[in-house]
Each structure stands twice: as C-alpha cells, then as structure tokens.
Chains A and B, each alone.
Chain A
Amino acid sequence: DVKVTQSSRYLVKRTGEKVFLECVQDMDHENMFWYRQDPGLGLRLIYFSYDVKMKEKGDIPEGYSVSREKKERFSLILESASTNQTSMYLCASSLSTLRGNTIYFGEGSWLTVV
C-alpha cells in the first residue's frame, strides 16, 4: 500500500513563528503536493513538485514556500505564520503520467496559529 506520512497531526503555533510541515512517501513517486483544506473552499493547491528540487506554484502559494531535497520528502514552510493560515494541510504524492494520475493523501496536519 502507498503510504504518505505527515509528521504532525496537530500543531499550535504563535503568529510570526516559522513553521515546518514535513511529508514523506514510500512509493518512489515523482510528484508530491501540498493542499490546504478549508470549509466551503474544498482543497486548494499550494505547491506541486514534479521532481527533486523542482516545484510549481499552485493556486495559493502566497505566504508559503516548499523544499524537496530528496525524492521521498516534501516540506511546506510558513516563514512567518499568520492566523489566516490556520487550516488543515494535506500532503499527497503520485506517479508521473502527465494526465492527472491518482494521487494518494496523508492523514492531514491541523495547524492552529494563535
């Protein structure tokens, strides 16, 4: 089975803190994703990575950055957390097919910024 593991299920951070959300996948997938989920807005793509050190902005990249130094690991970074970044963050991965392949999600990380 594909396993996507997010390092923290629940985090509480203060405004202005730097926050790291880590994600690891064990299926040698080329693609990795970070989404944010908010009620009524569905899942919105923050960043997409199609290879090591390669990244592409999603629909809402502002206030976020990412790092992919190894194929299996994709990190989401909030340089200076703000209260409007309180949300559920979902990491996912997929094989490369260039036609919108099935993606596999982690369990999610609930971030609260106070």
Chain B
Amino acid sequence: GQQLNQSPQSMFIQEGEDVSMNCTSSSIFNTWLWYKQDPGEGPVLLIALYKAGELTSNGRLTAQFGITRKDSFLNISASIPSDVGIYFCAGPPSYNTDKLIFGTGTRLQVFP
C-alpha cells in the first residue's frame, strides 16, 4: 500500500537544540497531520495542515505543508526532555476519504 516515508528514523540530541524532521509521499496529499506518541501511549495530534504552503505553529513546534503537496516538515525549537517520543506524519491517501495512513515515524531522544 501507499506509504509515507519519514526521516530521520531516529535522532539523539542535547536539550536546547532545535530539531527538524520531514515526511515525503509519492503522491499528493490534501491534508497533513503530525502526531506525537509518548512511550506506552497512543499518538496525540500536534498540528494539522490543510493548505499547500501553510505554516502552522503550536508552541515550540512549527509544521509546514510543502508546496509540492508531497511533503511536510516539523521543527521543534529549544528541545526539552519531555519532547522525547515518536513523531508521526499522517494524511488521507486519496480524495473524499477519512482513512488516514501514517509515516514510519521519527524517534526522538533528548539528553539533558
């Protein structure tokens, strides 16, 4: 089936550093969603993007809907230990559907 590829697969960073990750698709998406999964929990929505070129922030998090509509980016500024977790991108694989497919995930570790 269709797949969203995320990179990097994992990141190990120092507290206070900025983080960038991205998500790419072979086909066009009309919605991009970014989720975070804390250890032992289900994923929780961070940011939703609905328009090509859109840039949206949620606190220290900023996400962008790529102009080509085949990619999206998530940045975290000044990372803190509670940013640890797995970050997933997601989107509907076609028009007129609520079905969502998810990316392979980026695992983030933050060291104090």
Contact = CB atoms under 8 A, between A and B. Distances in A.
A97 B102 CA distance: 18
Contact of A100 (B2, B6, B41, B97): B97
B92 A100 contact: yes
Interface string A12-37: 00000000000000000011010100
- Which interface class (under 10, 10 to 19, 20 to 34, 35 or more) fits B? 20 to 34
Given A4-B42, A102-B45, A48 B105 contact: no
A56 B98 CA distance: 11
A43 interface: yes
Given A94-B98, A99-B31, A102-B33, A42 B104 contact: yes
A114 interface: no
A43 B43 contact: yes
B91 interface: yes
Interface in A86-114: 90, 92, 94, 96-108
B59 interface: no
B98 A97 contact: yes
19 contacts: A40-B104, A43-B88, A43-B105, A44-B102, A45-B101, A50-B98, A56-B99, A59-B1, A59-B101, A90-B43, A92-B42, A98-B97, A98-B98, A99-B30, A99-B50, A100-B97, A105-B43, A107-B41, A108-B40
